Each structure stands twice: as structure tokens, then as C-alpha cells.
Amino acid sequence: MSKRLLSALALAAAILGGPAAAADTSSLSGFLDSCSSDQQGCKTFALDVVTNARDNHYGCMPRALGLDAAADQELAWLKDKAAANPKYRKVALTDVMWDGIDELWPCHRQARSSP
């Protein structure tokens, strides 16, 4: 499934989901700023994204990792890694979040051996 479709699904879930809609999802900096006053809204939004990723088999999140812990890891990645990276200044928040999933839980595919 493409990142764009997953982004649209996550954004729709946030808009329709109630408390998460209070978080500013216009940009990474806006989102992180709103997290200081609405930690639950930010957590709910991150939880929606990681749940959507797992449900759609995006990324390779370990099954033993709970969704709540995955959302915490995603938020930490956004605050520690993404916020310090200038390439994310003009990227849609949901795309930044999918990049976080790619970085936190990459899928390592084994190379096929030649016959």
C-alpha cells in the first residue's frame, strides 16, 4: 500500500477520531508544539498511525511490541530525529511519520540466491 494512501487514512482517522483532532497536524513543528499542551491528542494521533501501519502490514514492527509502546517510540523519533532534520521542514506530517516507521522498524528482505 502506498504511503499516500496510508497518509490519507491516518489523517482521516485523526480528523474523525475526536481528541486526536486537537493536535496540530499541519506540520511537524506545529504537531510537536501542540504536543506540549495536548500530549494525549498527540499520543492518540501517533497511535492511530502505528495501528494503521500494523493493520496494513506497513513496516516490520515486531508483533511483541505493543501499539502503545510503538506510538511512544514514534513520538520520540519525531522529537529527537525528525525535528533535527531539515529535510522534514516542508514535508507533510503523515509522510514524516511513515518515514519514522521505515526507520524504526525497517523490513530486511533476504537477497535471493542465483540458481
pLDDT tens-digit series, residues 4-53: 555 555 544 544 444 444 578 889 999 999 999 999 999 999 999 999 99
From 48, 41, 43, 40, select the one nearest 6 (Cα to Cα).
48
| Confidence category of residue 99, pLDDT binned at 50, 70, 90 | very high
Model pLDDT, residue 17:
47
Q: Taken in order 112, 6, 81, 40, is the CA torsion positive or negative?
A: negative
What is each CA distance from 56 to 2, 27, 52, 82, in whole angstroms? 10, 24, 6, 23
Whether pLDDT at 82 is above 80: yes
| Confidence category of residue 2, pLDDT binned at 50, 70, 90 | low
**111 phi-psi bin (left φ>0, alpha ψ -120 to 50, beta other):** beta
Neighbours of 85 (CB within 10 A): 12
- Domain ranges, ordered by start, for the chain: 3-104
Model pLDDT, residue 35:
92
Q: Taken in order 40, 81, 24, 91, is the CA torsion positive or negative?
A: negative
